[in-house]
A and B are shown apart, each in its own frame.
Chain A
């Protein structure tokens, strides 16, 4: 049962972006469309799961004084793998995400989970925690990206949704739209959280 909770807590209760306010830079920067959000989410999830697994496996060998540089090196290795794979197989996406792929290294979600969870728990639970957190992150990015894309260009995942007469509000896919939508999304997540707490 603990394992299931490790997974589901990332979706709302400990959602990395909306509740813990971690990983804000990529969240705002890449969500000008749903597909970019999905790509970023998957890349970060891969790094998160792999680094959580490795950190939790090597934790008996790591002296606690130098654990942070070691964690960062582990994370940077997986980020480099992701960067090269994406550049080779999804060049368009890799171009769209730009410097935010290498910047996964300094995404506070990943180092935060390595430090707060993986360095204290078993490999299996750390893996599931990484999956759950990554899923919560991806979900947030896709929802935010879909919302901004719908208002800003009238499409979702490139599919026309709004009618032909719809005039896209360009502001939503420009930087201000990112800040405004995320502000309202955080407030919405708080409302949902309060509701679930009251019911429980």
Chain B
């Protein structure tokens, strides 16, 4: 339990996906002009990120990774093959497999939402297609499986918390940018440059959380 809490807190504050890992910057800059849209985008990201963490973990563990949980090895073993489990190593296919799985997952979620919950669909719908090529989603899948080697529950919590961290940064940014419209910003710094400066200052503030050592 404590382990999961540490994963969650570090994904939200210490290794914030936007401000310290630099993932998901396109929506962070693109949809942070209004707080309302920022909340919608944030919710859609949390939803898809949690789902994608679960699905990519299953794909990784049962289809791609070398080991005794690999389904291809289990089948081959049933038919009396003596090939060692380590030779069923398909991890080089991970990038292609993950991006295709995530893209179809997003399409599927869109269809299901449209049929079952029109109100949720009208709130999140326009953000869903944008999420497919959001590097935060593919990033969390890669981190869960390749870099951090989490188990299923940890991967799920990490995906959810990373989404929450993204949403937190996005909503804070949109609040600042709404106020910024009335500030006397130098002409050349308007828009994108000042957004980066604001993000830099926020990132500096979040750097303080790295003092939280467990």
Q: B-contacting residues of A (Cβ < 8 Å)?
A: 21-22, 24-26, 28-29, 69, 72-73, 76-77, 79-80, 83-84, 98-99, 102-103, 105-108, 111, 171, 174-180, 182-184, 186-187, 190-191
A98–B95 alpha-carbon span in the complex (Å): 13
* B23 engages A102 (CB within 8 Å): no
List the B side residues contacting A72 at CB < 8 Å: 99-100, 103
Contact flags B182-194 to A (C-beta < 8 A → 1, else 0): 0000101100111
* A179 engages B199 (CB within 8 Å): yes
Known: A25-B23, A183-B189, A183-B193. 13 other contacts (CB 8 A): A24-B29, A72-B99, A79-B95, A83-B95, A99-B147, A176-B200, A179-B197, A180-B196, A180-B200, A183-B196, A183-B199, A187-B188, A187-B189
What's the least CB distance linking A139 to chain B, in Å? 18
Q: A-contacting residues of B (Cβ < 8 Å)?
A: 19-26, 29, 92-96, 99-100, 103, 133-135, 138-139, 142-143, 146-147, 186, 188-189, 192-197, 199-201, 203-204, 207
A184–B96 alpha-carbon span in the complex (Å): 36
* A28 engages B188 (CB within 8 Å): no
List the B side residues contacting A186 at CB < 8 Å: 192-193, 196
Chain B residue nearest in CB terms to A193: B188
Which single member of B20, B138, B192, B204 contacts A102 (CB below 8 Å)?
Answer: B138
What's the least CB distance linking B209 to chain A, in Å? 12
List the B side residues contacting A22 at CB < 8 Å: 26
A8–B92 alpha-carbon span in the complex (Å): 35
Chain A residue nearest in CB terms to B142: A99
* B24 engages A25 (CB within 8 Å): yes
* A176 engages B188 (CB within 8 Å): no
List the B side residues contacting A83 at CB < 8 Å: 92, 95
A26–B138 alpha-carbon span in the complex (Å): 13
What's the least CB distance linking B211 to chain A, in Å? 14
Q: Which 8 A-B pairs have the closest CB atoms?
A: A179-B200, A183-B196, A29-B22, A180-B200, A176-B204, A24-B25, A76-B96, A187-B193
A1–B89 alpha-carbon span in the complex (Å): 49
* B196 engages A84 (CB within 8 Å): no
* B196 engages A175 (CB within 8 Å): no
